[in-house]
Structure 1
């Protein structure tokens, strides 16, 4: 067996993947065609064997359906208690994920991979629970039936007539470390059903009439076997790649057919389709994109595009390869894909051209080795004339030939000037330089012409006898031959390199355009900006008008971005876009549905469903027939879909965050308000009921104290409700600031007067400059002073002084209220002005709902000032705010 050195990049990728997998648990899936084939039984048998080997096994969740033989296998295995969940009046047994993570066994058994968890669970699906277990490093055994695979959902519904609601992404099964197929013939499975080993009698009869029909079971069994075979084939392919095995292992039939611009390519595709159907084999259609493609005529390009579209419609896998030699590329790709048969058309070139330039068929036969090569012509097809000749290559412009002749003439003139001083070999180099120049600038035809002219000119002017084509020395014939061959080789290689460079530049431009769009997507925020970016890039790359249509609340698509494109305003175009949105299929220009539309419409299908429609009207519609352009457009559409879905998820996350914050605030408000409302109401109610009780005879002093309590608590309740209403008005923007020039000292005095019962004998010092006039709303600023003073009175000792200062500055005045209390923790200085924030102190029983300072901040900011709090070095807190001084205050004349 031939082995070669593995690809270093691929080997590094495999090592990284293995390193990542080493940190995860291993997943083993017991895979079956239907319920009752013995998946759970086989899983428990394997678990018992692992348990006997000393592995810590835990039964996380098992559905035995009352089968005695299955229950017997649970003996000796520790089981995790099921989680009891109430749902619509029913108690459900569910898998307890948190308990499993807490116990963290080496191996856990979790039945029914496709099960849907009840609402409000951490994950919507059980396979997501299992993924979390794997991330925690826990090995998992699980079971699943073939009908639960997401990719087979529609096929199962078509075969059985039953739509399976619980599905598992195919990637879950593909990423499993081991898949064990549990197979049972349909007759045996029906026998188990009749014996009551799958369902109880009443359910078994209904199942036999519906899902468990023999034809359904045969089809499901085939699907399960094929899916398992595909997985084994993928493992074999990975092994061949890891060990760099170049030879083909024909474990299954896989056909590859090479196509080109020949009119017979469509026949070749149809013939290969029939072969693949007879062999029930996968088939691939390959087109090698060589530098010659740049010189193909429009008709040839259209023919290639039509052939590839035909192959795609017939179910083939389409691949476009890049290279110089089609035969080498086809063989290389065939070995990479483990192709067993290569199909190629009979050569149509004349025999002399095959002998001179070689044949692709001959290359494939010689290089294919163990791969079979089928050379066919295909059956007759009336849609094409068999005598149709391949289109002629477009002839280069005559001016290019004239320029090539002129360059050789210029080389001859230069050579005549230096001929007496240099050897003939140096003159040959001069002519080769001219040939290279012509090849680089004017193409293959003028280069060949220049090669022939250079040999002729060298013979005519510089080989004796001069000015004649006769040759006196026979050795010059070899010189002419080598010169011609070298000139032709240089010109051919130069043209090929230029063509390859142009092809590489085209691919680089496509890749760069896609990268530029995705890079902008990563930095853009907002759906509108994202859509605008997508439309700009798509319009620029495909040289046309693009638009993105999104659905409204009624499911009707409308142009959100790109509505300036004239075609999208046509009602017929909107109907086409709506059809694409409703059916999630491509339509419009160059499609099989509504091809008369002015634009091509692609559905933007995300993981959670379709999110919109992309419309494109290119200036050159025929460019979309090129498979590379079509695939590139689909890639742009996919990237746009992902970006739109990401924007939707971000909006949903933002809405959820706002909702959570709103809920938190609501709970805080209800908690705070309910307590702070209940306390004064309870005091008022108690005092009032005591006064109304006729059996209690109180003296005048007690009655006065009870009445005073009612008044104080009523005032407290009034302040609480006022704060709530003020906060609501501030947030709603309903507070209007009416500024007037006023003396700051008067507002301070009014605020102190309102708080005189609370101040009592508290020392208050005031230091305010005379004639400190500021434009402000006296009612609002008075409320600020009251709130700040009340806060200082509430949180400081009753005998400690309070200082009120005002500092006059150039454009503002700063007001400070300082106390000598315990101060504020440094961590709370930034958050003390937030809503519902309250310090937890031994005086918190008398605290409010945490809105007073928030209201102060809102009022000061409405005046254009700032407010803050800081601790004094000697102890205590300073609350300070600034008010801007706009304009000149009025002049006050003292008498």
Structure 2
């Protein structure tokens, strides 16, 4: 055994984080002392300092049991009126809100009153365990789901209240409370189990010596299976393999009335042999009626409740497919039921069991005989539908006979049989195998009666005619069987194709959804209205309340809201058609990824009926890609938020660096000039004083531009920049910008080329002027002293180009896109120039807001840099009218 397996076994001994432990007191029958033993253990726990709370305990008037309740705090029961009767149920919410590390819940298989949150008490226990509360509970062996039909065979009573076996199997402790049948009968006669009148009726009906002995054996077997499982767990914890060799049990089921009985028997066999087991249904293309499909679905749901795996295979040969699947899963036992077609088994040996025995080498095959009890009468509607098919077979035979009689003078006798074969094929394609075989037999009789000599008689004179009729019947049966099978397979393929198309269509819609709301809208548009369903999708807001995120506004009842909340909290289906809060018309299914609900899908039948099994499986299959798309959208939102947070932090760091350097420099210069003027006063020459004042003014203007850049970038980033457009001449914008920067441009040789006949611009003049000022200031900052700065305005391709060329160091090709990033200058450190690095970024934003762009290229003669502002030229206004 590997260390990993040993570690898994050790971890399995501990409860899941946040989940309580379950202890089950198992008995063979009522009155053996389960509740008494549970209360005794509860008192022992209380003496050890644990907080104990009685959720619900049924004393049935037993004085010994009522005496043990003394000293234990009890949660008051809820009273519910149902059909004029007052019912007392456990207050689940009260128990959840009351502090208590151990809760006593009697009668695990009890059915709750209609209108309760859960249909069964064992579901209440599961919610308590999920809340981290330990639970003591009691249950009788006849209430175990897998033993339901066995108890019926023993006692003659069908137990209606059952508990899935997995609920008991997940118990941390299972304690068998045993009492010999004679002692239990004595307790019944003394009135310690029921009142005397009920006791006499119970002894006569259920509590007989024989029944109690058989139930006691079943209880011991269930307890022994749990003990053996614990022993195997102990071996694994010790690092050694368990003595018993484990294989796998496969149970093959079909759509007959013995499917559920076969599943229960397989669960008991697997439990006794400690084998994992699977239910396998091989779809061989045979068309099942509605009852058959419902029986298969019921068997699959029962297998899931009993802890089995459900597998559906599609193949033509059932036995061979079961053997191949058994070898793939390394199964050691295959369990099947006895074939319904006994006459065919006797004649041809064609039963599944016989073929399994012939083809299974080294594989154990068990065959469960059919129940001798009469099955329930089948609905009359099915007979009506079946008789319609057989009437179609009769009508097709009559039409084929008439057509054959009409062409008997044209076609030879052997060719006339093809007309009847066509009728058989038609019936097989339109109905199923039974009517096709009936049509083949009727065609055989009609062919013999009408066309084989002597005519109008079933007698045959020639031996070769006998062979012809035999071959005709054989070919009709084979073709009918083949056509019926192909039809059923075609229907199965159509259903599979329809589901695949729906998945592909939904996937295509979800692929185009970029955010969470788009995913929800795509899912709602795909699902709503299909199959007569009304769909809405709920989400939780920041206050934890569910609201409709996609779908028409819908009002829900209190029960429907409670079911939705419960489905979200427990990641399980709830609502109409389920066992949890079934009142209302909505069925809720959580859209979950990694045990985290992302949304809640609500489905309601427009006709008000409960969803069928295939519809629920289809919706669950369609819900999975929706959940994955929601997770993808959520992850995308988180990544975008993380990216924005990172960029914000980067901008903040760059801004601090910029403020500490670029804003401090002009302030320092201004302070030095002012201090000199204050300290020296009249001692400073007039020319020097004027120079200091002009320097202070220039630095103040420079500081004002920096602050203006910061404000403009803030306005651009928050989308608050408004464009007050007007018609303006390009020469005015250029002239105003040059005038503002006359002091900055004074050390340079300025060359301006602005034609006189330029078209007008329809822009926000102040923003374009500021953009041009930023470009000019950037060029002046990097130009050498006495360098040439050229400003040229041209028109190309319905655009006005304002180009500013300098003779600076130039910009590398790889960096030309980066110069428009905010704080690019600060990110590169001190390059000898000054500035925040916001100027060109603001320039790009201002020009882009007008539908233009800023291009970076080489300067004149390949020296320096040329930055060009490209602005679109709209249709020019009429000079004869007022300019807007």
TM-score by length of 1: 0.66
Equivalent in 771, 779, 802 of residue 815 of structure 1: 802
Q: Using the TM superposition, give the Cα deviation of residue 581 of structure 1 relative to its aligned residue in structure 2, in angstroms.
A: 0.2
Which residue of structure 2 lines up, in the alignment, with residue 395 of structure 1? 386
Give the gaps of 5 or more residues in structure 2. 14-128, 137-227
Q: After the TM superposition, which residues 608-757 of structure 1 pair with which residues of structure 2 at under 5 Å, given as runs?
A: 609-618=596-605, 624-626=611-613, 628-689=614-675, 706-757=692-743
In structure 2, the residue matched to 1:79 is none
Counterpart CA distance in 1 for 2:246 and 2:747 is 100
User: Partner residue of 1:489?
Assistant: 478
2 CA distance for matches of 1:618 and 1:731?
49
Q: Does 1:764 align with 2:750?
A: yes
> 1:463 aligned to 443, 452, 465, which one?
452
CA spacing shift, 1:390–1:350, aligned 2, 3 Å? farther
| Conserved? CA contact 1:271–1:379, under 8 Å | no
Write out aligned runs for 1:776-815 (5 A). Answer: 776-807=763-794, 813-815=800-802
In 1: Cα distance, 2:829 partner to 2:292 partner? 90
- Residues 542 and 759 (structure 1), Cα distance of their counterparts in 2 relative to 1, 3 Å cut: same
Q: Find the aligned partners of 2:134 and 2:558 in 1 and give their Cα distance.
A: 39
Tell me how far apart the structure 2 counterparts of residues 545 and 723 of structure 1 sit (CA, whole Å).
55
Deviation of 1:545 (Å):
1.7
Secondary structure, aligned partner of 1:416: coil
Question: Residues 818-876 of structure 1: CA distance to partner in whole angstroms, max 9, x if unpaired?
Answer: 33434332233333333223399999333211122233333334444443332235133
Q: Distance in 2 between matches of 1:799 and 1:848?
A: 21
1:503 is matched with which residue? 492
Residue 272 of structure 1: which of 266, 271, 279 is its match? Answer: 266
- The aligned residue for residue 528 of structure 1 is 517
Q: Pick closer, same or farther for the CA change 1:274–1:443 going to 2, 3 Å.
A: closer
Partner of 1:311: 303
Asked if 1 retains the 8 angstrom alpha-carbon contact of 2:559 and 2:583, the reply is: no
1:96-175 matches, cutoff 5 A = none
SS of the residue 2:534 aligns to: strand
Query: Given the superposition, is the C-alpha separation of residues 867 and 253 from structure 1 closer, same or farther in structure 2, using an over 3 Å criterion?
Result: closer
Asked if structure 1 preserves the Cα contact closer than 8 Å seen for 2:499 and 2:618, the reply is yes
Structure-2 separation of matches of 1:317 and 1:842: 66
CA distance in 2, matches of 1:351, 1:843: 99
Residues 400-453 of structure 1 deviation map (CA, whole Å, 9 limit, x = unaligned): 13531244224423541224xx4x434444543443344334543443343234
Corresponding residue number in structure 2 for 1:560 = 549
Give deviations 1:447-495, integer Å, cap 9, x for gaps. 3343234333433444333443332223422322222122112212211
Q: Which residue of 2 is the match for residue 516 of structure 1?
A: 505
Q: Give the Cα separation in 1 of the matches to 2:230 and 2:348.
A: 56
Q: How much does 1:578 deviate?
A: 1.3
Deviation for aligned residue 1:890: 4.8
| CA distance in structure 2 between the partners assigned to 1:229 and 1:506 by the alignment | 49
CA-to-aligned-CA distance 1:607-663 (integer Å, 9 cap, x gap): 26111212222457878443x544333222222211111110011111111111222
| Among candidates 836, 854, 879, match of residue 867 of structure 2 | 879
Measure how far apart 1:776 and its partner are. Answer: 4.4
Return closer, same or farther for 1:758/1:600 CA change in 2, 3 Å cut-off. closer
Whether the 8 Å contact between 1:623 and 1:629 is mirrored in structure 2 is no
1:635-692 Cα distance to aligned partner (Å, 9 max, x none): 2222221111111001111111111122212222221222112222233344444555
Cα drift, residue 709 of structure 1: 4.3
Distance 1:412 1:870, change over 3 A: same
Listed one character per residue, the Cα deviations across residues 377-396 of structure 1 (whole Å, up to 9, x for unaligned) are 5999xxxx755356776414
The aligned counterpart of 2:293 is 301
Alpha carbons 2:782, 2:833 under 8 Å: kept: no
Paired with 2:322 and 2:591, the residues of 1 have a C-alpha distance of 34
Describe the shift of the 1:307–1:849 C-alpha distance in structure 2 as closer, same or farther (beyond 3 A): same
**CA spacing shift, 1:808–1:311, aligned 2, 3 Å:** closer
1:582 paired with 2:574, answer no
Please list the CA deviations of residues 225-264 of structure 1 after superposition, one character each: whole Å capped at 9, or x if unmatched.
559999x99xxxxxxxxxxxxxxxx941432333334434
Asked if the contact 1:289/1:322 (under 8 Å) is kept, the reply is: yes
Tell me which residue corresponds to 1:289.
Answer: 283
Q: Is the 8 A contact 1:755 1:786 kept in 2?
A: yes
SS of the equivalent of 2:485 reads: helix
Counterpart CA distance in 2 for 1:889 and 1:428 is 92
**Does the residue aligned with 2:794 lie in a helix, a strand or coil?**
strand
From 352, 355, 375, the equivalent of 1:360 is 352
2:538 to 527, 549, 558: 549
Contact 2:6-2:239 at 8 Å conserved across structures: no
Query: Contact 1:576–1:597 (CA<8 Å) still a contact in 2?
Result: no
Matched position secondary structure for 2:822: coil
SS in 2 for 1:334: helix
Q: How does 1:19-30 map to 2 (within 5 A)?
A: none
- Paired with 1:502 and 1:412, the residues of 2 have a C-alpha distance of 32
Matches within 5 A, 1:73-472: 223=233, 251-292=245-286, 294-296=287-289, 298-346=290-338, 354-355=346-347, 358-376=350-368, 386-388=374-376, 394-397=385-388, 400-413=392-405, 415-419=407-411, 422=412, 424-472=413-461
Question: What's the secondary structure of 2:735's corresponding residue?
Answer: helix
Aligned equivalents of 1:757, 1:769: Cα separation in 2: 25
> CA 1:889 to 1:717, structure 2 compared with 1: closer, same or farther past 3 Å?
farther
RMSD: 4.1
Shift of 1:499: 1.3
- TM-superposed CA distance for 1:761, in Å, is 5.6
**What SS does structure 2 have at the residue aligned with 1:529?**
helix
The answer to whether the 8 A contact 1:268-1:378 is kept is: no
Distance change in 2, residues 1:822/1:891 (3 Å): farther
Contact persistence 2:806–2:866 (CA under 8 A): yes
> Per the alignment, in what secondary structure is the counterpart of residue 823 of structure 1?
coil
SS state at 1:395 partner: helix
Unmatched segments (≥5 aa) in structure 1: 1-26, 38-153, 162-217, 234-249
User: Is 1:557–1:612's contact at 8 Å kept on the other side of the alignment?
Assistant: no
C-alpha change, 1:523 and 1:221, in structure 2 (3 Å) is: farther
SS class of match (2:597): strand
CA pair 309-650 structure 1, distance change in 2 beyond 3 A: same
- Whether contact under 8 Å (1:444, 1:492) holds in the other structure is yes
Tell me if structure 1 keeps the 8 A contact 2:854–2:869.
yes
Residue 751 of structure 1: how far off its partner (Å): 3.0
In structure 2, what is the Cα distance between the partners aligned to 1:265 and 1:585?
27
Q: Distance in 1 between matches of 2:400 and 2:526?
A: 46
* Distance in 2 of aligned mates of 1:442 and 1:264: 25
> CA 1:809–1:536 in structure 2 vs 1: closer, same or farther (change >3 Å)?
closer
